[in-house]
Chain A
Amino acid sequence: MADHIIELVDVGKDYGGSEALRSINIRVRSKEFLTLLGPSGCGKTTTLRIIAGFENPTRGKVLFNGQDITGVPPYLRRVNTVFQRYALFPHLNVMENVAFGLRIKKMDREQTAGKVAQMLEMVNLSGYERRNVSSLSGGEQQRVAIARALVNEPEVLLLDEPLGALDLKLRKEMQIELKNMQQRLGITFVYVTHDQEEALTMSDTIVVMDSGVIQQTGTPVNIYNEPSNAFVADFIGESNIVPGVMLRDYLVKFAGAPFECVDAGFAPDEPVDVVIRPEDVKIIGEDEARIRGIVRSVTFKGVHYEMIVETGTRAWIIHSTTRVEAQSRVGLEVLPNDIHIMHGGGRTG
């Protein structure tokens, strides 16, 4: 219990009769980097705002170090937030913005100045103290927002899509910087993003959400390699999601042929979703293959080629470093280890 700094227990939230969150359970371990990942409107920001105290859950409890803090106002919580659009105070300069929390706590002047200077140095903004916040670039404002939150030495830092407004290159740099900061300071980060690549890069734990429900919780590797359902598989990276039937343990039938797999424990003839990553589909000679098709398009993507292969019933996305001519006939093969079987069969990909 003690190593979970934040726990959401059966948390639900209604907005005007409709459920934005449905019985969410999240446990955040101390000093971990946890990411809430999902498409817009999935409830990830609502979840973050419930942890910060800006929203009260309709149902359920929020625990902080094992203590119930449901209903405790934000200013009494030992968490700080980095807002999506930074929310810097326009009437204060950089230094006054960063010092805001310390001044509220009535820390003496010298100590405040020292801490602010130290924080600004950490985010590479030394010498910016007197600058007007509106004169700063997006990246610089972002750093001020992070410094303003971290200077209060929160036990948990909440970040609401903090890199969303930055350009790609800056975003990559900030990802690494944020991760370094988190490890150096030993602070728990709860991070909200819709960018799956960002989530995979930075997180210790990812919570994938959709329509107010947690779809899967796990490590990045775990979530990428073992998506628990078709939604997760589709959202995290690209996937071929094929309807199939589980013939028996370790044997699944899809695309008109039986394939060996590593999954078991399904009912005989249970309809399932078969998820196969584009990079796991091998192109082989047409004659020896169980799946045959025609290459419809070839796109160069830098590291690999992306090919669309049409098999008559469906189109497959394939990533390969070797190029195959468009319109040529090919065979497709998948190794047992790369076939991921999911319950449901409701979705067709």
Chain B
Amino acid sequence: MKSKLPAFPYLVFMAVFILVPLLLVAYYGFTDKQGTFTLEFFRKFLEPLYLKVFARSIWLALVSTLLCLVIGYPLAMILAGDTFKKKNILIVLFIVPMWMNFLVRTYAWLTLLENNGLINSFLDFLHLPKLELLYNNRAVVMGMVYNFLPFMVLPIHSVLVKIDRSLIEAAEDLGADRLRVFSRVTLPLSVPGVLSGITMVFMPSITTFVISRLLGGGKTTLVGDVIEQQFLTVYNWNFGAAISLFMMAVILLSMALLSRIDRGKEGLL
């Protein structure tokens, strides 16, 4: 009994700041303005207009996660390996932007990609045609990849550095060239890092609204934008709450699926 006492303040904190708001969201989601039980707002979210937004959110989040994986895995390998001598510079370049505020970083991209931004000014200077860089899906994906890449690299990196060097040597000794060492030893051993990286990128990607607002310019509405509008512009808290609950279910489901894969891998051991 005594050992539970130190946990008490945290329990109170979690109850007040996590459980109660969650229950409130659930209450709003399942009721209408008069406070009577209804599933109307869930049904409303299944209308084509919103389903399209939902599909776009999932699609962009998947693309961003995949890009983060494709860019992040080799980067994590370079950071974990000892072949690249200028590793420290790379780490600094990678970490310094993280010291800046998320919004500032994203605004910085605006000035780069704008019609009269740095890139287009440079193209103009070279007498090349300007590019439509902002306010489309590509810009949103780029913003997500840029902002969430560290969440992919760090878990993979921390798994890679823990892989025993002698396992790599053992594989080489048994006839595996570099490609096979990677596919049969390094990659399978880094699966837990990859899975947590995917989770940590996919979740913020699917719920973001700042990136789509700034870089998508309102043309690429995501679920996060819809929720934000319902709460702050339309004042339809019930609908906003219902979408939130729906997204929560989606995220929980995908996490369960991922951990299933993870456990399946361990089951093979």
A63 contacts the other chain (CB 8 A): no
Within 8 A of A (CB), among B147-185: 164, 166-167, 169-177, 180, 184-185
Assembly CA distance A132 to B185 (angstroms)? 16
Docked-complex contact B265 and A91, CB < 8 angstroms: yes
A216 contacts the other chain (CB 8 A): no
Partner of B172, one of A75, A88, A91, A134: A75
Stretch of A1-9, A78-86, A228-236 contacting B (4+ beta carbons < 8 Å): A78-86
Docked-complex contact A89 and B173, CB < 8 angstroms: no
The closest CB in chain B to the CB of A105 belongs to B175
Docked-complex contact B167 and A89, CB < 8 angstroms: yes
Docked-complex contact A104 and B176, CB < 8 angstroms: yes
Within 8 A of B (CB), among A98-139: 100-101, 104-105, 132, 134
Docked-complex contact A80 and B265, CB < 8 angstroms: no
Docked-complex contact A83 and B170, CB < 8 angstroms: yes
Least CB distance from B52 to A in Å reads 42
Given contacts A83-B166, A83-B169, contact A132 B269 (CB under 8 A): yes
A52 contacts the other chain (CB 8 A): yes
B residues contacting the other copy or chain, number (CB 8 A): 20
Assembly CA distance A19 to B248 (angstroms)? 62
Please indicate the chain A residues that have their CB under 8 angstroms from the CB of B189 in the complex: 90-91
Docked-complex contact B177 and A100, CB < 8 angstroms: no
Docked-complex contact A87 and B174, CB < 8 angstroms: no
Assembly CA distance A88 to B269 (angstroms)? 12
Partner of B269, one of A85, A87, A92: A92
Please indicate the chain A residues that have their CB under 8 angstroms from the CB of B173 in the complex: 52, 54, 74-75, 79-81, 149
Residue from B166, B173, B177 whose CB has the most chain A CB atoms within 10 Å? B173
Docked-complex contact A148 and B174, CB < 8 angstroms: yes
Residue from B167, B169, B170, B269 whose CB has the most chain A CB atoms within 10 Å? B170
Within 8 A of B (CB), among A53-75: 53-54, 73-75
A175 contacts the other chain (CB 8 A): no
Assembly CA distance A84 to B189 (angstroms)? 21
A93 contacts the other chain (CB 8 A): yes
Partner of B174, one of A73, A90, A132, A152: A152
Given contacts A52-B173, A104-B174, contact A91 B180 (CB under 8 A): no
Least CB distance from A82 to B in Å reads 9
The closest CB in chain B to the CB of A104 belongs to B175
Docked-complex contact A152 and B175, CB < 8 angstroms: yes
Please indicate the chain B residues that have their CB under 8 angstroms from the CB of A93 in the complex: 268-269
Least CB distance from B168 to A in Å reads 9
Residue from B169, B180, B265, B269 whose CB has the most chain A CB atoms within 10 Å? B269
Docked-complex contact A100 and B184, CB < 8 angstroms: yes
Docked-complex contact B174 and A101, CB < 8 angstroms: yes
Given contacts A92-B269, A93-B269, A132-B269, contact A87 B175 (CB under 8 A): no
B188 contacts the other chain (CB 8 A): yes
Assembly CA distance A74 to B185 (angstroms)? 16
Assembly CA distance A52 to B171 (angstroms)? 12
Least CB distance from B215 to A in Å reads 40
Assembly CA distance A53 to B169 (angstroms)? 10
Docked-complex contact B171 and A90, CB < 8 angstroms: no
Assembly CA distance A89 to B175 (angstroms)? 15
Docked-complex contact B169 and A87, CB < 8 angstroms: yes
Chain A to chain B contacts (Cβ below 8 Å), 20 pairs: A73-B177, A74-B169, A75-B175, A75-B176, A79-B173, A80-B173, A83-B170, A84-B166, A85-B164, A85-B166, A87-B166, A91-B185, A93-B268, A100-B171, A100-B174, A104-B176, A104-B184, A132-B269, A148-B170, A152-B174
5 A-B pairs closest in CB distance: A101-B174, A87-B166, A87-B170, A74-B172, A104-B175
Given contacts A83-B170, A92-B268, 13 further A-B contacts (CB under 8 A): A52-B169, A54-B173, A73-B177, A74-B173, A75-B174, A75-B177, A79-B173, A89-B167, A89-B185, A90-B189, A90-B269, A101-B174, A104-B184
